């Protein structure tokens, strides 16, 4: 029989037991409706409510039936059957109403009054089928559409691999849609349903419109691939309204839109220990390595008016239960929704459902005006390289390169050093790496062609040789002509001890450890805009560094709270500029002089040096011993001294300190004839810069020279009288003037 739509009178609609929802037959199949509103009714031509006689409640297009279960038996196995309910009628109790062929139900505001309230799909067949014997079971794709039938749901324990398409429209006080089994595809579309379950014997204190105690179970559940769409629905007092545990291969997509959750997933007395570790208004996870789940939440509301605390977040991604397995293929996109999103890893809860390990949860809050895209992998990832996320730093390092940067996603701790032996870019992204045991945090092993950049990272720990070490590969030791000179760039990083005891160094520059302190290997280091705080030393040029072939640029850095000195060692071929050495540092720069360092090519300029000790000069293997053990004196020439210009010292102490004699090494620092330490053009409180000379002696050391015998010559007659260090601030400045002819005349500057 051909069916058409027919509108009943308003009087009839008001007599319905369950409120009708506003939709035509076509509308309920395509649009979400407002829950709980009045609806249009669909009946075949020639059929009205008066056509239903003697307690009949369902019409199958040919015959009338007393209950929905009777009607299902009559049309069992008939592909494309359509059932029409008496508007507002009680269609009887229904437990596992068997459906094995495509079916459409127009509920017309009728309701199921008892049983488990479910249409059963793909569970029973043969003699085991409760509705009819010898049912062959599902043989093809099943389409089941339920419109405006209160207290109804769909349940199935899959036995076939066929696709099941479920559509429920505008069903008030609906029951669960619950499909288990990993075979086949589950496509579920729910529009305009409301969910509040009567539960016999419950005692929650929450009542439905019939004054019955209610507690909600799991409303929507699927563990197979498929597309789930939930739109315009309302969930009240439901333990786990939307609960997806994807256990199969393939993709499961879940879209929840325009839906309100009120007092759902509350930790009341009816929640079991196991339940409280996973219940949430929306929960999505995937536990098959070949499967993925994608959740989209748009324009949804999570409301709580009761005093009970909620379990977990409004949205829960992953499984934090004790003994659970985790799969990383879960993504979530949230828009126009204020929500607390929790990402959980196994072990967050213990067997009693209580919190066991806080590190196994990550929480994100959305404000309702933002759009957020995240994933389970991202929530627990240590680092990201491109679009890939990694839960260990070593795995991320293997993937990353110079052009594919590693981005750190969280603060981490390590107990062993991180090894870098290739060209790579590491972006700390404002995070930190802390070593829990003494030793270096990161070791960069350099050889021909390695180019490493480290930015925006904090390293914490305790290691005398440096938290970050630049260490030579053995086979590079004598390479003075590399194809590409290895380079380390460190920018916007912070280095500090992790216990506040000012121990260890920030960066250590090393050669290959051997008796040859002067490796031929070339390398380059750039350290810019970093902070060295609460350490012994900031940057340590180790005595085994390739001193003559290391080019270093140290600029715009801050040194503070250092118990020893900011920069220590022999910075040959170095530019040390625009740095600040604060008064909380004992020393600023320790410059070691060595006989093989005939030409330093080092410039120390434009620094603020307010440390207790400024620039310190010290002999280091300057006077080598001959075979008889006698030391020869090597005089320091002008070319062995660094250029010191335009530095600012706001403290009333010496700009330079010279250790003229070191007792334990029996070395004397002596300047060659006509050689002076040039301190001109620096600012030291508007006065001529000065030098302090000290002699280190040991008890009973009769060979130590007196200070007056080794006091070095100093050149300090030209200096700045203001810390702006403009040319006119020099004490020798003579301004230009305009002569009678109008031409500018400049007077030669002479010393005062």
Per-residue pLDDT tens for 431-486? 999 999 999 999 999 999 999 999 999 999 999 999 999 998 888 887 888 999 99
Per-residue pLDDT tens for 638-660? 999 999 999 999 999 999 999 98
The predicted pLDDT at position 220 comes to 96
CA distance 619 to 667: 6
DSSP, residue by residue, 189-207: EEES-EE--B-TT---S-B
Residue whose C-alpha is closest to residue 490's, from 467, 472, 517, 518: 467
Angle formed at CA 333 by CA 328 and CA 334, multiple of 5 degrees: 135
For 468, the token pair is 């970050």
Q: Which helix (H) or strand (E) holds 398?
A: helix 393-399
The predicted pLDDT at position 39 comes to 63
The predicted pLDDT at position 712 comes to 86
Q: Where are the beta strands (DSSP E) in 399-544?
A: 406-408, 412-414, 418-420, 424-427, 432-435, 442-446, 451-455, 458-460, 468-472, 487-491, 494-496, 505-509, 523-528, 531-541
Angle formed at CA 504 by CA 502 and CA 506, multiple of 5 degrees: 100
Query: Taking 70 as the threshold, does the pLDDT of residue 678 lie above it?
Result: yes
The predicted pLDDT at position 511 comes to 77
Question: Running DSSP on this structure, what letter comes out for residue 309?
Answer: P
CA distance 40 to 17: 15
The predicted pLDDT at position 131 comes to 67
The predicted pLDDT at position 17 comes to 31
Please give the torsion angle defined by the CA atoms of residues 467, 470, 474 and 475, in that order, rounded to the nearest 10 degrees: 150
Residue whose C-alpha is closest to residue 306's, from 367, 198, 215, 176: 215
At residue 296 the predicted structure's pLDDT band, cuts being 50, 70 and 90, is very high
For 739, the token pair is 């002569």
**3-state SS string over 38-54?**
CCCCCCCCCCCHHHCCC
Can you name the residues that pair with 373 across neighbouring β-strands?
333
Query: Taking 60 as the threshold, does the pLDDT of residue 567 lie above it?
Result: yes
CA distance 564 to 612: 10
The larger pLDDT score, comparing residue 496 to residue 502, is at 496
> Whole-model pTM?
0.73
CA distance 128 to 479: 82
Per-residue pLDDT tens for 503-513? 899 999 987 76
Query: Taking 80 as the threshold, does the pLDDT of residue 101 lie above it?
Result: yes
CA distance 301 to 309: 17
Question: Running DSSP on this structure, what letter comes out for residue 602?
Answer: -
The predicted pLDDT at position 6 comes to 29
Query: Worst-scoring range by mean pLDDT, 235-244, 283-292, 547-556, 734-743?
Result: 734-743
The predicted pLDDT at position 746 comes to 41
DSSP, residue by residue, 249-278: SEEEEEEEES-EEES-SB--TT--HHHHTT
The predicted pLDDT at position 164 comes to 97
The predicted pLDDT at position 272 comes to 81
Per-residue pLDDT tens for 587-623? 999 998 888 788 889 999 999 999 999 999 998 888 7
Query: Taking 80 as the threshold, does the pLDDT of residue 368 lie above it?
Result: yes
Query: Worst-scoring range by mean pLDDT, 117-131, 205-219, 471-485, 490-504?
Result: 205-219
Per-residue pLDDT tens for 122-166? 999 887 777 677 788 899 999 999 999 999 999 999 999 999 999
CA distance 552 to 123: 74
CB of 466 within 8 A of CB of 506? yes
Question: Running DSSP on this structure, what letter comes out for residue 504?
Answer: S
CA distance 711 to 152: 100
At residue 515 the predicted structure's pLDDT band, cuts being 50, 70 and 90, is low
Per-residue pLDDT tens for 260-280? 999 998 887 678 888 888 899
The predicted pLDDT at position 36 comes to 47
Residue whose C-alpha is closest to residue 174's, from 128, 121, 107, 219: 219
Tell me the mean pLDDT in the region 231-249: 93
Query: Taking 60 as the threshold, does the pLDDT of residue 4 lie above it?
Result: no
The larger pLDDT score, comparing residue 63 to residue 711, is at 63
Chain centroid to Cα 37, Å, comes to: 44
Query: Taking 80 as the threshold, does the pLDDT of residue 326 lie above it?
Result: no
CA distance 698 to 705: 12
The larger pLDDT score, comparing residue 47 to residue 210, is at 47
CA distance 490 to 601: 22
Taking only Cα atoms into account, the Rg of the chain, rounded to an integer number of angstroms, comes to 40
Per-residue pLDDT tens for 456-469? 999 999 999 999 99
The predicted pLDDT at position 544 comes to 58
Q: Which helix (H) or strand (E) holds 71?
A: helix 68-75
CB of 455 within 8 A of CB of 427? yes
Torsions phi, psi of 729, nearest 5?
Answer: -85, -10
The residue length of the chain stands at: 752
At residue 61 the predicted structure's pLDDT band, cuts being 50, 70 and 90, is very high
């Amino acid at each position: 029989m051909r069916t058409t739509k027919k509108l009943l009178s308003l009087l009839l609609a008001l007599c319905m037991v369950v409120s009708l929802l506003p939709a035509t037959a076509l509308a309920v199949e395509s649009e979400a409706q407002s829950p709980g509103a009045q609806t249009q009714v669909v009946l075949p031509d020639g059929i009205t409510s008066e056509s239903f006689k003697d307690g009949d409640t369902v019409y199958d297009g040919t015959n009338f039936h007393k209950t929905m279960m009777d009607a299902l038996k009559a049309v069992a196995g008939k592909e494309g059957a359509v059932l029409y309910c008496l508007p507002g009628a009680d269609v009887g109790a229904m437990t596992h109403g068997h459906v094995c062929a495509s079916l459409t139900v127009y509920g017309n505001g009728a309701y199921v009054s008892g049983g488990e309230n479910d249409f059963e799909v793909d569970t029973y067949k043969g003699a085991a089928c409760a509705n009819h014997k010898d049912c062959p079971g599902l043989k093809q794709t099943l389409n089941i559409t339920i419109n405006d039938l209160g207290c109804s749901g769909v349940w199935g324990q899959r036995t076939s691999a066929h696709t099941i398409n479920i559509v429920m429209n505008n069903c008030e006080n609906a029951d669960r849609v619950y499909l288990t089994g990993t075979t086949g595809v589950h496509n579920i579309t729910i529009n305009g349903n409301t969910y509040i379950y009567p539960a016999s014997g419950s005692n929650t204190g929450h009542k439905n419109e019939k004054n019955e105690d209610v507690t909600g179970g799991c409303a929507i559940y699927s563990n197979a691939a498929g597309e789930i769409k939930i739109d315009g629905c309302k969930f009240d007092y439901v333990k786990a309204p939307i609960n997806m545990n994807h256990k199969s291969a393939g993709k499961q997509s879940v879209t929840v839109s325009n839906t309100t959750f009120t007092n759902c997933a509350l930790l009341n007395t009816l929640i079991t220990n196991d339940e409280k570790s996973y219940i949430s208004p929306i929960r999505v996870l995937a536990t098959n390595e070949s499967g993925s789940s994608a959740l989209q939440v748009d324009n949804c509301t999570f409301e709580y008016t009761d005093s009970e605390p909620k379990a977990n977040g409004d949205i829960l991604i992953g499984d934090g239960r004790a003994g659970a397995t985790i799969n990383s293929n879960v993504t979530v996109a949230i828009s126009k929704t204020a929500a607390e999103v929790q990402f959980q890893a196994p072990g967050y809860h213990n067997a009693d459902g209580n919190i066991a390990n806080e590190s196994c949860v990550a929480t994100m809050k959305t404000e309702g005006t933002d759009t957020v895209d995240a994933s389970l992998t991202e929530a627990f990832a240590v680092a990201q390289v491109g679009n890939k996320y990694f839960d260990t730093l070593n795995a991320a390092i293997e993937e990353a390169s110079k052009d594919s940067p590693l981005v750190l996603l969280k603060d981490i701790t390590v107990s062993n050093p991180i090894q870098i032996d290739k060209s790579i870019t590491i972006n700390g992204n404002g995070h930190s790496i802390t070593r829990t045991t003494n030793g270096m945090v990161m070791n960069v092993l350099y050889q021909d062609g390695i180019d490493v950049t480290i930015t925006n990272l904090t390293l914490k720990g305790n290691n005398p040789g440096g938290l970050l070490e630049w260490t030579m590969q053995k086979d590079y030791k004598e390479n003075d002509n590399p194809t590409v000179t290895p380079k380390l760039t460190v920018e916007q990083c912070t280095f500090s001890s992790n216990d506040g005891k000012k121990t260890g160094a920030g960066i250590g520059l090393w050669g290959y450890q051997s008796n040859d302190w002067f490796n031929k290997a070339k390398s380059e280091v750039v350290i810019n805009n970093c902070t060295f705080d609460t350490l012994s030393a900031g940057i340590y040029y180790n005595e085994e560094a390739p001193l003559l072939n290391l080019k270093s640029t140290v600029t715009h850095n801050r040194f503070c709270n250092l118990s020893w000195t900011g920069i220590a060692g022999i910075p040959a071929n170095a530019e040390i500029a625009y740095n600040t050495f604060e008064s909380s540092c004992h020393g600023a720069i320790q410059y070691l002089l060595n006989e093989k360092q005939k030409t330093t090519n080092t410039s120390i300029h434009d620094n603020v040096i307010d440390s207790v000790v400024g620039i310190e000069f010290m002999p280091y293997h300057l006077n080598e011993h001959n075979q008889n053990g006698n030391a020869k004196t090597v005089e320091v020439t002008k070319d062995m001294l660094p250029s010191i210009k335009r530095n600012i010292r706001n403290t009333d102490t010496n700009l330079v300190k010279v250790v003229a004699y070191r007792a334990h090494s029996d070395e004397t620092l002596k300047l060659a004839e006509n050689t002076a330490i040039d301190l001109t053009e620096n600012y030291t409180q508007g006065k001529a810069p000065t030098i302090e000379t000290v002699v280190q002696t040991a008890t009973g050391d009769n060979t130590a020279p007196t200070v007056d015998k080794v006091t070095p010559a100093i050149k300090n007659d030209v200096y700045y009288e203001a810390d702006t260090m403009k040319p006119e601030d020099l004490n020798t400045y003579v301004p230009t003037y305009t002569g009678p002819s109008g031409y500018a005349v400049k007077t030669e500057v002479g010393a005062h």
